[in-house]
Structure 1
Amino acid sequence: MKKFLAAALALCMTSAALTSCGNSNSSSAADSNSAAANSQASDSSAADTESVSDKLLAEYPASTEKIDVKNGATENMIARSVINEGDTSRLAAKLDYALQNPKETTKICFIGDSITAGSGANSSTNQYVNQFKSWWEENISFYVDVTNAGIGATDSYIGVHRAQRDALEAKPDIIVIEFINDADDEFYESCMDSLVRMCLEQDNNPAVMILEPSTEGGTSPQAAHLKVAQAYNIPMISYHDAVMPEIEAGNFTWADISPDNVHPNDDGHVIMASLLTKFVGNIKDNIDSVDKEAKAFDTSTVAPTGDVFADATIGSRQTEDIVKTTDEGTFTDVTTFQKFTDGWGTTTGGTIKFEITAKNIGMIYYMTVDGKSGVAAVKVDGEDVATINADFTSGWGNYAKAQQIYSSDEVATHTVEVTVVDDAKPNFQILNWLIS
């Protein structure tokens, strides 16, 4: 049975309000409304997370003394960050192969948002991704190819749709997933479910890990992400659980590790990197005694939310098999922003029509601060399904935003019509379509 999603519901599920950040290329969209979004998470999910975190905190308590963050994470911070150790056999297999074949290249991909892209760090060297790369070169093998697939202000809803293109095409051996911009709810649990499953299903059996950051107030999508990590028995490392108990105990402040309310500064990136390197390093130090058999993914494994976004991909002008422009109308501009290319744009308002073959349809559109981008109405098969406002006047910067507009139980070809309805603000850019 098909379902049309009201704009307000879709907006609530797929968008986080935005934190004030320096620029559109590196800013995260974790925001002031995240606390409200997080409150929608199920009580059982929150209880499960609290149970894991509380047990680890009881075993590895906050320090009784002030902590100088320039010295990095303490042993207790590192220990309680491992909120789900999971099955490490795939990771051990990749480590063992690299150690035994030091001139063979290991491919590592980090997919995430502005934190993964490196926002908050004063230089690329200080970014947690590059710190992890340096550690690998010094401790495992110099032959390592690291892909940074971080895009500012994105979430796992966009992430699952761009994963094949940005992460999996290169067949990485290790994949680290980080998305602070998710809300702690069932929608983002379903996004992470499909993203993790897609990664695990790859025929080269990559090791998959989730890295969980935090906002200043301690909100994060940790409960939703943990349910996925537990369902697939993969490692999940929590920067949130490492730093927040120390802040609450007064051992250091959020300002000591962040220049704003989301992004780690240099010291925060050092801590984040050390949580990963300590986890991986422990496996390396015990490589002779751990399970090193990289097993193929068991397709009978139950997807915790049903693998809603199976076969997710991005639709553009170049993918007419799934997105066909039937009437371009005034949307004649070919748009490009970040890695979202070959889209459709207008500066004069008007209407564009498509045929889109999918089970689920979402739109990535361009939010702008110039006061010229307006509101578009979306119809699917003749029915009103969404109203999308691309105006971000006085915001922190331009960015790509996603909204789910249609969901159904089976793949079918649909007519989709987008019309700019704000004559005073005639600009609108459809950067890409999200298809699954």
Structure 2
Amino acid sequence: MQGTSEPFLDLESHAYRNLISKSLLNKGHNARLKRAIEKTKRGEPVTIAYIGGSITHGAGAEPIHMNCYAYQSFQLFKKMFAPTSDSPLRLIKAGLGGTPSELGVIRYHRDVLREGTVLPDIVIVEFAVNDADDETQGVCYESLVLKALGADNDPAVILLFSVFENDWNLQDRLAPVGWHYNLPMVSMKDAVVEQFQHTPEEGGVISKEQFFHDIYHPSNSGHHIMADCLSWLFNITNQSELDRSIHTIDKPPLIGNDFMDVKLLDRLNGDRIARIDAGGFGRTDTDLQMAEMDDDPCGTPHFPNNWMYKGKHEEGGGRFKMILRSKRLILIFKDSGSDEFGIANISVDGKLVRKADPRQINWTHCHAMLLFDEKDARERTIEIEMAEGHEEKWFTILGFGYVN
């Protein structure tokens, strides 16, 4: 939060504008973004989508649905280019706290494309401070970027790199993906970190105490600056000549694209995709991670179509069993701060491959865990049961991400 001893943040000053301009890491090939801008100017329907972690969700902003960077930058885009205040622009905000692109690539079809009913014109991807937990070390991130880029309407994809209070992010890993496909990139690290070292007399614009709400999330001022950095990209793109060269995305991936075609399997569709015996996992968990989607002030529960186990007395026995043809599989399970939850063993084809501990993170949120990643698809048997000594504990399978 902004402290009382901090100087007034002059949003019109030359120093502030200089800070904002430093955020532009790459203008990228501008044809897709200019197309979206021109559609907006003509009064046509345009959808801007955001996917990422808690910062995209709006954590640190108060109120979260209106002062988050996503809502603010959407409003700035509308103000800059829409001919009337009631122009048909749509905001899709799909941030989910504490989750990496390993989960984001699974969520994309549901939370951004809304099960294929929406084709965004602009997609902003923000996972630079979440992807330390991506077990694929960037493969899921590049897969997500390519999934977005590959839509039939050729949307603009913007990579946004947020930053923690300790000046850390994964820009060095993720920005090469943007360079590889010549995408627009906006870096909060480039914008603010260096000037944090300076007093106002030395050219400092905003202190860490002003910019951050806590060690992870921006304050209202921080979210405002993030929105202004995106609007700077919008403005520069609008003023630039159209890039008429061919924008090539059909090239060998830089890190990998193995999860580009990942799909969600949950209780809603599972029986159409796999042979499932839920065993003792017959309940449905309703105490789920919540996130305010789009401009809604109310939280939406994530992965409601789940399988929950609440002790060995449950009807059907203890073990969840699924037979599925697949070459890659990610388990999504619920983390919890409750000591009612216990450790589960996950076996593939009769071999123990992972142990899932819902108490490792110790707060209610969605946890992605890679079970296998192989070259060829074949039929596999996945079994989940409580570890020894945890038979009376609870465990929730939120779903799976599979590639076949």
Same fold (TM over 0.5): yes
Q: Which amino acid aligns with 1:231?
A: H
**Contact 2:282/2:309, CA 8 A, preserved across alignment:** yes
Which of residues 81, 93, 96 in structure 2 aligns to 1:148?
93
Which of residues 277, 282, 298 in structure 1 aligns to 2:236?
282
Which of residues 225, 228, 250 in structure 1 aligns to 2:174?
225
Deviation at 1:185, TM superposition (A): 7.9
**CA RMSD of superposed structures (Å):** 2.2
Which of residues 27, 37, 53 in structure 2 aligns to 1:95?
37
Which structure's relative contact order is higher, taking Cα pairs within 8 Å and 6+ residues apart? 1
What CA deviation, in whole Å up to 9, does each residue of 1:26-49 have, x standing for no partner?
Answer: xxxxxxxxxxxxxxxxxxxxxxxx
C-alpha spacing 1:151/1:107, structure 2 compared with 1 (3 Å) = same
Q: Distance in 2 between matches of 1:157 and 1:258?
A: 26
**Contact 1:185/1:224, CA 8 A, preserved across alignment:** no
Deviation at 1:310, TM superposition (A): 2.4
C-alpha spacing 1:157/1:184, structure 2 compared with 1 (3 Å) = closer
SS state at 1:335 partner = coil
Q: Distance in 2 between matches of 1:344 and 1:119?
A: 28
Structure-to-structure mapping, 1:261-410, within 5 angstroms = 261-286=215-240, 289-291=241-243, 298-299=249-250, 301-320=251-270, 323-336=273-286, 337=288, 338-349=301-312, 350-392=318-360, 395=362, 397-410=363-376
SS state at 1:228 partner = helix
What CA deviation, in whole Å up to 9, does each residue of 1:155-184 have, x standing for no partner?
Answer: 100001111222132100000001121129
**Contact 1:92/1:291, CA 8 A, preserved across alignment:** no
Structure 2: state its 5+ residue gaps: 1-5, 289-300, 313-317
In structure 2, the partner of 1:42 is: none
Q: Distance in 1 between matches of 2:139 and 2:91?
A: 27
Deviation at 1:220, TM superposition (A): 0.8
TM superposition outliers: structure 1 runs of 4+ over 6 Å: none
C-alpha spacing 1:134/1:332, structure 2 compared with 1 (3 Å) = same
In structure 2, the partner of 1:58 is: none
What CA deviation, in whole Å up to 9, does each residue of 1:84-120 have, x standing for no partner?
Answer: 2221111011112221x12x11111111111111111
SS state at 2:284 partner = strand
Q: Which amino acid aligns with 1:133?
A: F
What CA deviation, in whole Å up to 9, does each residue of 1:204-250 have, x standing for no partner?
Answer: 00000011101111111111110111111111100111111111335
In structure 2, the partner of 1:177 is: 125
Q: Which amino acid aligns with 1:160?
A: V
Deviation at 1:305, TM superposition (A): 2.0
Q: Which amino acid aligns with 1:304?
A: L
Q: Which amino acid aligns with 2:68?
A: Q
What is the total number of aligned residue pairs between the two structures? Answer: 363
Which of residues 56, 66, 75 in structure 2 aligns to 1:125?
66
Q: Distance in 2 between matches of 1:220 and 1:160?
A: 19
C-alpha spacing 1:130/1:185, structure 2 compared with 1 (3 Å) = closer
Q: Distance in 2 between matches of 1:228 and 1:186?
A: 17
SS state at 1:357 partner = strand
Deviation at 1:290, TM superposition (A): 2.3
Q: Distance in 1 between matches of 2:325 and 2:108?
A: 19
C-alpha spacing 1:284/1:325, structure 2 compared with 1 (3 Å) = same
Deviation at 1:285, TM superposition (A): 3.1
